[in-house]
Amino acid sequence: MRKQLSKNWLTSQFWLRFLIIILLVIGVFFRFVNIDKKIYWGDEVFSSLRISGYLQSEMNEQLSNGSLLTIKDLSKYQYPNSERNTIDTIKGVILEDSQILPLYILMTRFWVQHFGDSVAAVRSFSAFTSLFTFPFIYLLCKELFGSSLIGWMAIALVAVSPVHVVYAQEARAYSLWIVATLISSLALLRAMRLKTKVSWCIYAATLVLGFYTHLFFTLVAFAQGIYVVVIERFRLTKTSIYYLFSSLAGFITFAPWVWIIINNPQPAAVAWANAKQTFFGSVTRWAGIYSRTFLDLGISPSDPGKLKLALIPFILIIFAIVFYSIYVLCRRTPKKVWLFVLTLIGSVGLPLLVTDFVFQKRYATTRYTLPSVLGIQLAVAYLFTTKLTSISPQVWQKKLWSIVVFIVITGGVISCSLNSQAQIWWNKLPEGYHEFPKIANIISQGNQPLLISDDSIIPSIQVLGHLVDRKVQFQIVKKNHLPEITNGFTDIFLFNCSDYLKAGIEKIYSSKLQQINPLLWKLTKST
């Protein structure tokens, strides 16, 4: 009987690994398929501006003078060119985006210079970076749990996790942040086990990597410090001393950028987070944040309440699995295992939770809670692996958990499939940009179209610049200024412009404006 159980267990291990390899292939496919299909939204055009090396103030001054502009003129401020070098890129980040750490921007600039400046090429750096999630989460699981099977299960969960795929296709630093978090976590655990100077130096280097990738990595590093202190029982041991020196070295290297942030604050960049949010709004927001780890049907905060209500049963099931995973982890693993996972979950999640519910802010977004997502996936990977590979005579339990795992994985695959076919997803701020593809299509249908606006070049005009046909020309003026419209254009449009610009054009050119949608007007001759 025991031999038969052992044989069945080995067979299940083989098929589990085989299925996970298939899921890994599917996950890689979803990270690259239709990578240029979605709208290149506001945050991404800001990334491209930083990559180009130009300042936003320079761009505004040079483009908002009423002269005729082509797509090439706009693209000058979206991609690297010979007029600006790496030093200019760093200068732009320091002066105008100090809260955006420079590592991702510099690496992407290098990537674009070698692989092209299309939307697909720019985003492909994030997709490529996300592939490193697989080996490092596997190695982290082996170091943490001492089990390769749990590592394989974690790979499966990450491969088809909707939130990982979403940020693997965005020209921002989030995939790099995920990888940096995993590398730093692995380095810390190895250093605590090996207790060698070399291993602690490697950990210090991973801190530098994380600090210069995302500002919230400081919270991850702080949580790692709590973990070391608790494991060492608040004593000044050899491990504690090595940790203090390593973390101090990492913080010293980051100190210059802290000084830059203090001297060049960018409060406007996070002004959106100061909006008050009700308790119910915070609950809804957090439910969406963590449920997207396993299920994401593209529903955003601006969607009707009926759609959100329909998701409640699924969200409750997901949270039940998550909480049960944490319970099982804490009951069945040593303190050094479950405490590490809990500190990873709470590293960013707990401060943002307090900020949202106590101060009624809305700092919490899915992209800021990615380290917490990693912790949740580690806990769930442990639960699923132990349930599926348990040598238990109660077959019905294994079948039940096989169904649960199948449902979770299927939910991820369905979510990624829907995402791959959409032009705009919840992370692209659909409430702000859902009209842009329609507007771009209308403008591009003209024979010789001209688009006039006194709106902000970044992000609105540049977002449109990535969507319209190359024959479209632009004329951008400053507020309370009117353009001189030249002859030769068959279709003239006004985009998201002021009442002053609309009234002035109608009066000077004896024309009427026909409103096409809330953001677009077309100039027609008066009869």
DSSP string, 165-219: HHHHTSSSSHHHHHHHHHHHHHHHHHHHHH--HHHHHHHHHHHHHHHTT-TTHHH
Residue appearing with tokens 């970044």: 458
SS (H, E, C) 476-493: EECCCCCCCCCCCCCEEE
pLDDT classification of 7: cutoffs 50, 70, 90: low
User: Looking at the structure, do residues 291 and 420 belong to the same domain, yes or no?
Assistant: yes
| Residue 477 structural domain | 432-525
Q: Judging by beta carbons within 10 Å of its beta carbon (0-12, 13-18, 19+), is residue 353 exposed, middle or buried?
A: middle
**pLDDT > 90? residue 156:** yes
Give the containing element (helix H, strand E) for 474. strand 473-477
In the chain, pLDDT over 90 holds for what percent of residues? 77
Residue where a domain stops, chosen among 384, 405, 427: 427
The pLDDT value given to residue 2? 47
Backbone φ/ψ region at 488: left (φ over 0), alpha (ψ -120 to 50), beta: left
Name residues whose C-beta falls within 8 Å of residue 349's C-beta, 6 or more positions apart in sequence.
369, 371, 372
Q: Is residue 297 part of a domain?
A: yes
Q: Is residue 55 part of a domain?
A: no
User: Looking at the structure, do residues 291 and 390 belong to the same domain, yes or no?
Assistant: yes
Beta carbons of 250 and 184 less than 8 angstroms apart: no
User: Looking at the structure, do residues 419 and 436 belong to the same domain, yes or no?
Assistant: no
**CA-CA-CA-CA torsion sign (454, 74, 44, 266):** negative
Q: Give the chain's mean pLDDT.
A: 91
User: Looking at the structure, do residues 244 and 291 belong to the same domain, yes or no?
Assistant: yes
pLDDT in tens, 464-492: 999 999 999 999 999 889 998 888 899 99
Q: Is residue 123 part of a domain?
A: no
The pLDDT value given to residue 527? 53
User: Looking at the structure, do residues 444 and 343 belong to the same domain, yes or no?
Assistant: no
3-state class of 523 per DSSP? strand
If you count DSSP H runs as helices and E runs as strands, how many of each does the chain have, helices first? 23, 6
Instruction: Give the C-alpha separation, 378 to 350, whole Å.
Output: 18
Q: Is residue 520 part of a domain?
A: yes
pLDDT in tens, 25-76: 999 999 999 999 999 999 999 999 999 999 999 999 999 999 999 999 999 9
User: Looking at the structure, do residues 359 and 478 belong to the same domain, yes or no?
Assistant: no
Number of domains in the chain: 2
User: Looking at the structure, do residues 336 and 469 belong to the same domain, yes or no?
Assistant: no
pLDDT classification of 392: cutoffs 50, 70, 90: low
pLDDT in tens, 172-227: 999 999 999 999 999 999 999 999 999 999 999 999 999 999 999 999 999 999 99
Rounded to an integer, the average pLDDT of 77-103 is 93
Q: β-pairing, 65-69 with 473-477?
A: antiparallel
The pLDDT value given to residue 342? 98
Q: Is residue 87 part of a domain?
A: no
Name residues whose C-beta falls within 8 Å of residue 385's C-beta, 6 or more positions apart in sequence.
147, 149, 150, 152, 153
User: Looking at the structure, do residues 353 and 228 belong to the same domain, yes or no?
Assistant: yes
pLDDT in tens, 413-428: 999 999 999 999 999 9
User: Looking at the structure, do residues 517 and 371 belong to the same domain, yes or no?
Assistant: no
Q: Is residue 257 part of a domain?
A: yes
User: Looking at the structure, do residues 354 and 479 belong to the same domain, yes or no?
Assistant: no
What residues form DSSP beta bridges with 450? Answer: 473, 492
Rounded to an integer, the average pLDDT of 448-457 is 93
The pLDDT value given to residue 508? 85
3-state class of 452 per DSSP? strand
Residue where a domain stops, chosen among 373, 401, 427: 427
User: Looking at the structure, do residues 449 and 416 belong to the same domain, yes or no?
Assistant: no
**pLDDT > 80? residue 275:** no
**pLDDT > 90? residue 445:** yes
Q: Which residue has the higher pLDDT, 5 or 398?
A: 398
The pLDDT value given to residue 510? 81
Residue where a domain stops, chosen among 400, 427, 454: 427
User: Looking at the structure, do residues 139 and 272 belong to the same domain, yes or no?
Assistant: yes
Closest to 522 measured CA to CA, from 488, 511, 435? 511
What residues form DSSP beta bridges with 492? Answer: 450
Q: Is residue 303 part of a domain?
A: yes
